[in-house]
Amino acid sequence: MSGQMTGAEMHALVARLYPLCRSITGDGLRATLGVIGEHLPLTVHEVPTGTQVLDWTIPQEWNIRDAYIKDASGRRVVDFRRSNLHVVGYSEPVSATMTLDELRPHLHTLPEQPDLVPYRTSYYARTWGFCLSQRTLDAMGDGPYEVVIDSTLADGSLTYAEHVVPGQTGDEVMISCHVCHPSLANDNLAGIAVAVALARSLERPRHTYRFLFAPGTIGAITWLARNRERVGRIKHGLTLACAGDSGRLTYKRSRRGDAAIDRAATLVLKGRPHRVLPFTPYGYDERQFCSPGFDLPFGSLTRTPYAQYPEYHTSGDDLDFVTPAALEDTLDALQAITGVLEGDRTYLNLSPYGEPQLGRRGLYDSLGGRSDTKQAQLAMLWVLNLSDGSKSLLDIAERSDLPFAALRAAADALLAAGLLKETG
């Protein structure tokens, strides 16, 4: 499938994925990749429990069928079937009768947000627990309660998937988003939807585009461990998350700080409400790709960053929190960033002694009547002046403060007129 997805179509994909109970392993993650696979052809990988991946080990696979806390009347006070956030991720199986005092150490609430259910996990320490609203907890009596978590932790595998759009070169742009969170619409189903939309919009790109759909942290680490020979092909990388809220766009720089992806994102976002943040070794999977042994040029694109909106990792991150307009805006910015990466070239001015006569070549005449005539003329002059074989169009855009698209169009016209040649 190909073609531009609308904001409504991206939101519909988020809604389709929302009920699935995802974790870093298990059938919910596989079902998620199955839905993505309806939109994009995927190569799915299964990595067995116990496999060493860099300094980590693939854990046991977790699956859950049901979970609840029932009062004496048989009413489910807390019910996994109503929301998969009600169970702490990776909870081991439980079947017991307990008083509220016995149960309390296993209950998680947000007293400062009493109507919301928190999202909690315990991937690498064996335990169990329930998440519920503070109002529900306040209304609970002394018990006894029937407590059941029908789950399994057993040897299995970790699942991740890739979609590759072949380019004219083997140089790769990598887009990574995590697929391990349960019913959290912005973090990170919105990122998945925007990644799918970008992949479907690409047609005969110059770079090869690799889309990675993997569980957070352990998934990126697993991919890196299994693809050391491929890492050198990654020329630009971006993690995509929190892509659907109404906040302004935010770009976090790579560890390098001045990689082409950093410069392209900064250039594109300049004309929009945005923030550009320095690199920190905390966040999403950019920190794995930017670890010092790999030091890949990987930035991160979000709207409101993680932990900076009240709904983050709560039941408030629902389908109403993500909007079609925000999804479209994120996709538009992402396409503009990749457009810079695709269009960046380095040229040599073949008539560098004085300004060449553009009028007799029809270059000025071709601009007649355009609303941006002055900008287009200025773009030609900037491209001619700085195309000395060492400066790319991205360099010229930063220096001239002109839109990259205007410089790209000017370079195409000058190239056709025989005034430029590409140098690399």
**CATH number for the domain that contains residue 139:** 3.50.30.90
Strand 130-131 relative to strand 107-108: parallel, antiparallel, unpaired?
Answer: parallel
Three-state DSSP class for residue 86:
helix
Instruction: Say whether both 142 and 162 belong to one domain.
Output: no
Q: Is residue 389 part of a domain?
A: yes
Instruction: Say whether both 138 and 210 belong to one domain.
Output: no
Count of domains forming the chain: 3
pLDDT band, very low/low/confident/very high, at 369 (cuts 50, 70, 90): low
Instruction: Say whether both 177 and 278 belong to one domain.
Output: yes
Q: Is residue 180 part of a domain?
A: yes
Q: Among 313, 342, 371, which residue terminates a domain? A: 342
| Pick from 8-22, 236-250, 348-362: least confident | 348-362
Q: pLDDT digits over 65-95, tens only? A: 999 999 999 999 999 999 999 999 999 999 9
Q: Is residue 2 part of a domain?
A: no
> What mean pLDDT comes out for the span 148-155?
98
Token pair 């994925």 is at which residue?
17
CA 63 to chain centre: 25
CATH number of the domain at 275, please. 3.40.630.10
397 to 270, 340, 370, 389, 409: CA distances (angstroms): 12, 10, 21, 15, 12
> What mean pLDDT comes out for the span 93-116?
97
Residue 247 scores a pLDDT above 70: yes
What is the spatial distance between Cα 173 and Cα 233, in angstroms, rounded to a whole number? Answer: 9
Instruction: Say whether both 312 and 369 belong to one domain.
Output: no
Its domain, for residue 398, covers: 345-422
Per-residue pLDDT, 363? 83
Instruction: Say whether both 284 and 415 belong to one domain.
Output: no
Residue 170 scores a pLDDT above 80: yes
> What mean pLDDT comes out for the span 347-376?
80
Instruction: Say whether both 333 and 368 belong to one domain.
Output: no
Q: Is residue 299 part of a domain?
A: yes
Residue 367 scores a pLDDT above 60: no
Instruction: Say whether both 258 and 328 belong to one domain.
Output: yes
Instruction: Say whether both 337 and 353 belong to one domain.
Output: no
What is the spatial distance between Cα 98 and Cα 125, in angstroms, rounded to a whole number? Answer: 22
Q: Among 109, 135, 154, which residue terminates a domain? A: 154
> What mean pLDDT comes out for the span 206-223?
98
Q: Is residue 325 part of a domain?
A: yes
Instruction: Say whether both 301 and 350 belong to one domain.
Output: no
CATH number of the domain at 413, please. 1.10.10.10
> What mean pLDDT comes out for the span 386-408?
96
Instruction: Say whether both 137 and 187 belong to one domain.
Output: no
> What mean pLDDT comes out for the span 273-279?
96
Residue 35 scores a pLDDT above 60: yes
Q: Among 308, 342, 376, which residue terminates a domain? A: 342
Give the dihedral sign, CA 206/39/250/279. negative
Instruction: Say whether both 308 and 208 belong to one domain.
Output: yes
Q: Is residue 1 part of a domain?
A: no
Q: Is residue 323 part of a domain?
A: yes
pLDDT band, very low/low/confident/very high, at 1 (cuts 50, 70, 90): very low
Instruction: Say whether both 410 and 355 belong to one domain.
Output: yes
List of E strands, 109-233? 130-131, 145-154, 157-165, 172-178, 208-214
Per-residue pLDDT, 374? 84
The answer to whether the beta carbons of residues 206 and 339 sit under 8 Å apart is no
Q: pLDDT digits over 8-26, tens only? A: 999 999 999 999 999 999 9
Q: pLDDT digits over 119-149, tens only? A: 999 999 999 999 999 999 999 999 899 999 9
Residue 175 scores a pLDDT above 50: yes
Residue 364 scores a pLDDT above 60: yes
Q: Is residue 391 part of a domain?
A: yes
